[in-house]
Amino acid sequence: MKIELFEKNSSFDDKNSDLDFHIWKYLETSLHAHKDYYELFLVTKGPIQYLINGEMMTLKTMDMSIVRPSDKHRFFPSKSDKSIQHLNLAVDCDYFNYFASLLSPNLKEKIDSVNDYILIHLSEEQFQYLNHLKKLINTIPTDDVIQRKTSLNLILFNMLSFFNMFSNQKKTYPAWFASLLTEISKPYFIDKNVNDLYKLCPYSSPVVIKTFKDYLNITPVRYLRNLKMTYAKNLLLTTDYNTLDICTRIGFDSLSHFNHVFKDFYGITPTEYKTKNKTLK
């Protein structure tokens, strides 16, 4: 398994295996891509800061991702919590293709065609099952290669099946909801609040809230904050605006509240984010 590194060295233990596994604990990785394998990881103790294809985000417990050979990513440990942990599988491309084909003939194509990055949030039941399988591995004697490989295959199969279930369950948005998402993503709306969002809808706020949860698994308030934080992040990276300027532009009345919300999303303050990203360029 070959890794294209952009900074210091980082890899799985067994580079010759078609399926490798480890538990990553409170360690910062380099910015890297995987030349000939896929990586699947599950956050078992969050939050953890994560950079994927230029997008900085905070991952929480039960978040799962599939990292393709072309993706570039990096983990940052949380300064406030040193108990973070994630389960990682490194899977040879041919081996990955084989397992994906067992679940669906076009699953690999579906995974490879996703724009930007792949991230899903597991249900409590799905998470507990994978956690159970992870714990079983620790009970297998180190010299029992067959049993270990069988257990890893089971974890891989289930992680892929959860993604397949998630992608197959996606629904077509109602026309009014699709129009709403388009409208609130426009630049003019970035300083608006959730009450402004409700005014655009033909239904009551409880119906709107339920629709957001049914289709996006998120509340309207959280969705708007995601848009605002993404916009703020882009301003930090591409302009010379200070944090007060950005705070005002995205509709926050309090600079301290803006700093708090930004840190909740990205794990660091706006000023720290701007400084850190300078080191990544």
How far apart, in Å, are the Cα atoms of 12 and each of 28, 85, 160, 250? Answer: 14, 15, 20, 41
CA distance 117 to 231: 18
Q: Which of 120, 151, 168 is the last residue of a domain?
A: 168
Q: Which of 119, 145, 168 is the last residue of a domain?
A: 168
Q: At which residue do the structure tokens 């040193």 appear? A: 82
- The reply to whether 87 and 193 lie within a common domain is no
The whole-model pTM stands at 0.58
- The reply to whether 275 and 213 lie within a common domain is yes
Q: Residues 204-220: pLDDT tens digits?
A: 999 999 998 887 768 89
- The reply to whether 202 and 116 lie within a common domain is no
Please answer whether residues 46 and 80 qualify as being in contact, where contact means their C-beta atoms are separated by less than 8 angstroms: no
Q: What angle do CA 62, 67, 68 make, to 5 degrees?
A: 155
- The reply to whether 38 and 126 lie within a common domain is yes
**CB-side neighbour CA atoms (13 Å) of 45:** 11
- The reply to whether 15 and 130 lie within a common domain is yes
Q: At which residue do the structure tokens 């703020």 appear? A: 232
Q: Residues 134-189: pLDDT tens digits?
A: 888 878 887 888 888 888 899 999 999 988 887 655 556 788 998 999 899 888 99
Residue 82 — very low, low, confident or very high, per pLDDT cuts 50/70/90? low
Q: How many domains would you assign to the chain?
A: 2
Amino acid sitting at position 170: K
Please answer whether residues 122 and 111 qualify as being in contact, where contact means their C-beta atoms are separated by less than 8 angstroms: no
